[in-house]
Amino acid sequence: MFDVLVFLYETYWRPDACPDHAQLTRKLSAVGFETDEIQEALSWLDGLAAAAQSHQGQQSAQALRLYGKQELDHLGEASVGFISFLESAGVLRPEMREIVVDRAMAIPGSPLDLEDLKIIVLMVFWSLGEEPDALILDELFAAPEERQLH
């Protein structure tokens, strides 16, 4: 599923540039993605659109997020730490964080892989028509072993 999401991010500059589900399914199949993987990704994207719609306009700079046990178990320490890092850096607003958590909780398996969470964060930016700055894009795309220390 995550390969499909990355393909969509790289191919379409925003969600409304994507064709309808039927046409998109045909295109993704032609590119070589499996039907199950496509359907899972499209279903997840529908959930993303719904989550973005329900959190639209909500803003609270003072919002404090406490994670429940189920969320902590599912997200894992690394993912919660990364979300906190993005928040403290001023990159992830509280309403965006809630969308990230919602969509991360929709992914089966625990704990969530950090690289998968990074794709979720990227897709949240994409769904809102926002592009993270270059340093955050580097953080989202580059694997830790690929980074150069200065």
pTM metric for this prediction: 0.86
Nearest in space to 71 (alpha carbons), one of 100, 44, 42, 51: 100
- Contact between residue 140 and residue 2 where contact means Cβ atoms under 8 Å apart: no
In one-letter notation, the amino acid at residue 88 is S
- Contact between residue 105 and residue 74 where contact means Cβ atoms under 8 Å apart: yes
Round to whole Å and give the CA distance between 84 and 107: 20
Classify residue 47 as exposed, middle or buried by CB count within 10 Å of its CB (0-12, 13-18, 19+).
Answer: middle
pLDDT digit of tens for each residue in the chain (150 aa)?
999 999 999 999 888 888 999 999 999 999 999 999 999 999 999 999 999 888 766 655 566 789 999 999 999 999 999 999 999 988 899 999 999 999 999 999 889 999 999 999 999 999 998 888 777 777 776 555 544 444
